[in-house]
C-alpha cells in the first residue's frame, strides 16, 4: 500500500518537489511507493497528518533568506502529536512567469509571500511600480495569469514546464544560494538522529528564559537555532523553538531534557532526526 504524503499544492510547488524527493528516497531505500496529496495551505497539510487523514506531511520550516515559516511552527505546536522523521534542504530558484513580451508592461505580480520576499530586491529594481499580490502558494499564483500581458507570477521553472507557461526572467531570487529546509512529519515516534527540535513556554518570572538555556550550556549541548513565537494567549506571551545538535536518545540529552521540563512551563519535544541526502537542485 502506498504511503500518503501531504504537501502544499497545487502541483508544481517547491513543497511538492521536496515531497517527491522524499518519495524517491523512500522507494530507493524501502521499496515503498508513495501517493502525493496536495493541500491548499501548510496548515491544512499539517492538520491532515495530525488527524490521520494522511501518513506523512512534508512542510517548509526555514528559508535561508527569509527565516522561519510561522505557519509550520505554529501548527506543530498546536497539534502536539507530530514528530519529525527527517529534514531535507532544497535549493530554491525563482522565475518570473508571464505572457508579457517585455518586463515593463507588467503591472501586477502574484506569488506566495515568502517567494515575493526572496525576490524583493529584483522586483524593486525591475518592477518598482508593480503591485505585489500574495497567494497561498507559488503555483496558485499561476491561475491568475490567463493570457494577460500585464500580470506575472513568481514560481519555478518546473512549474512553468508543468503548466506550459513562458518564462520572462530566470533566477530572480536575490540570493543565489537561496534554499529552504523542509520537515517530514508524521504521528510515528521519531527515528532518532543528529538533530533534535523542541519548543517550550516559560513562567512569567524574571530570568525564566535564562534557566532553560543554562541547562543546555551546562550539558555542553550546542543550539543551532532559537526563536520566539507568540503563544496567541496574550500580548507579550511567547513560546520558544530550539534546534539542538544532539540525539534525544543519548543519556546526556535525556538528562538535559528532564532538567528542561523542570525549568519550563510546557515542553514539547518534536523528535530527533537526520538530514536526507541531497538529490540535485530545484530549477
Q: Do 77 and 103 belong together in one domain?
A: no
Q: Do 73 and 99 belong together in one domain?
A: no
Number of independent structural domains in the chain: 3
Please tell me the distance from the alpha carbon of residue 140 to that of residue 40, in angstroms, as a whole number: 9
Please tell me the distance from the alpha carbon of residue 74 to that of residue 43, in angstroms, as a whole number: 9
- For residue 133, the domain's CATH number is 3.40.190.10
Grid cell at residue 215: 541547562
Q: What is the pLDDT of residue 240?
A: 95
**Stretch 189-202: mean pLDDT, rounded?**
95
Q: What is the pLDDT of residue 232?
A: 84
Q: What is the pLDDT of residue 40?
A: 93
Half-sphere exposure of 13 (CA within 13 A, CB side): 32
Grid cell at residue 74: 505554529
Q: Do 157 and 220 belong together in one domain?
A: no
Express each pLDDT in 162-181 by its tens digit: 999 999 999 999 999 999 99
Could you give the 3-state DSSP secondary structure of residue 239?
strand
Q: Do 52 and 184 belong together in one domain?
A: yes
Q: Do 70 and 132 belong together in one domain?
A: no
**Stretch 120-134: mean pLDDT, rounded?**
96
Residue 3 pLDDT > 90: yes
Which of 170, 203, 220 delimits the end of a domain?
Answer: 170
User: What is the rounded average pLDDT for all residues in the chain?
Assistant: 93
Q: Residue 118: which pLDDT band, with cuts at 50, 70 and 90? A: very high
Residue 283 pLDDT > 70: no
Express each pLDDT in 74-88 by its tens digit: 999 999 899 999 999
Cis upstream peptide for 10 (omega within 30°):
yes
Please tell me the distance from the alpha carbon of residue 109 to that of residue 220, in angstroms, as a whole number: 48
Q: What is the pLDDT of residue 86?
A: 97
Q: Is residue 281 part of a domain?
A: no
Q: What is the pLDDT of residue 281?
A: 42
Q: Residue 280: which pLDDT band, with cuts at 50, 70 and 90? A: very low
Please tell me the distance from the alpha carbon of residue 19 to that of residue 218, in angstroms, as a whole number: 38
Please tell me the distance from the alpha carbon of residue 62 to that of residue 181, in angstroms, as a whole number: 5
Question: Contacts from 203-206 at CB under 8 Å and sequence distance 24+?
Answer: 203/265, 204/237
Residue 236 pLDDT > 80: no
Q: Do 99 and 165 belong together in one domain?
A: yes
Residue 237 pLDDT > 90: no
Q: Residue 206: which pLDDT band, with cuts at 50, 70 and 90? A: confident
From 93, 4, 91, 80, select the one nearest 45 (Cα to Cα).
Answer: 4
Domain that holds residue 157: 95-170
Q: What is the pLDDT of residue 279?
A: 61
Express each pLDDT in 13-63 by its tens digit: 999 999 999 999 999 999 999 999 999 999 999 999 999 999 999 999 999
Q: Residue 277: which pLDDT band, with cuts at 50, 70 and 90? A: confident
Q: What is the pLDDT of residue 145?
A: 86
Beta strands in 44-155 (DSSP E): 56-63, 67-68, 83-91, 95-98, 108-111, 131-134, 151-155
Amino acid at each position: 500500500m502506498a504511503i500518503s504524503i501531504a504537501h502544499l499544492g497545487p502541483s508544481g510547488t517547491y513543497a511538492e518537489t521536496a515531497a517527491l524527493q522524499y518519495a524517491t528516497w523512500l522507494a530507493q531505500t524501502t521499496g515503498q511507493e508513495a501517493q502525493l496529496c496536495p493541500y491548499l495551505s501548510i496548515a491544512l497539510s499539517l492538520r491532515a497528518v495530525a488527524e490521520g487523514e494522511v501518513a506523512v506531511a512534508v512542510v517548509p520550516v526555514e528559508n535561508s533568506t527569509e527565516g522561519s515559516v510561522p505557519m509550520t511552527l505554529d501548527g506543530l505546536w498546536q497539534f502536539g502529536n507530530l514528530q519529525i522523521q527527517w529534514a531535507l534542504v532544497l535549493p530554491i530558484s525563482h522565475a518570473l512567469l508571464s505572457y508579457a513580451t517585455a518586463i515593463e508592461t507588467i503591472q501586477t505580480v502574484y506569488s506566495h509571500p515568502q517567494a515575493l520576499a526572496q525576490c524583493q530586491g529584483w522586483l524593486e529594481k525591475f518592477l518598482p511600480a508593480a503591485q505585489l499580490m500574495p497567494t497561498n502558494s507559488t503555483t496558485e499564483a499561476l491561475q491568475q495569469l490567463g493570457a494577460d500581458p500585464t500580470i506575472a507570477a513568481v514560481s519555478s521553472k518546473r512549474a512553468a514546464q508543468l503548466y506550459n507557461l513562458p518564462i520572462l526572467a530566470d533566477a530572480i531570487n536575490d540570493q543565489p544560494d537561496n534554499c529552504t529546509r523542509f520537515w517530514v512529519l508524521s504521528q510515528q515516534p521519531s527515528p532518532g538522529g543528529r538533530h533534535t527540535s523542541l519548543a517550550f513556554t516559560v513562567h512569567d518570572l524574571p530570568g525564566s528564559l535564562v534557566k532553560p538555556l543554562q541547562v543546555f550550556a551546562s550539558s555542553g549541548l550546542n543550539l543551532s537555532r532559537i526563536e520566539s513565537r507568540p503563544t496567541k494567549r496574550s500580548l507579550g506571551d511567547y513560546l520558544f523553538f530550539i534546534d539542538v545538535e544532539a540525539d534525544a536518545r543519548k543519556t546526556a540529552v535525556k538528562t538535559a531534557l528532564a532538567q528542561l521540563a523542570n525549568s519550563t512551563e510546557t515542553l514539547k519535544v518534536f523528535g530527533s532526526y537526520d538530514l536526507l541526502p541531497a538529490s540535485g537542485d530545484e530549477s
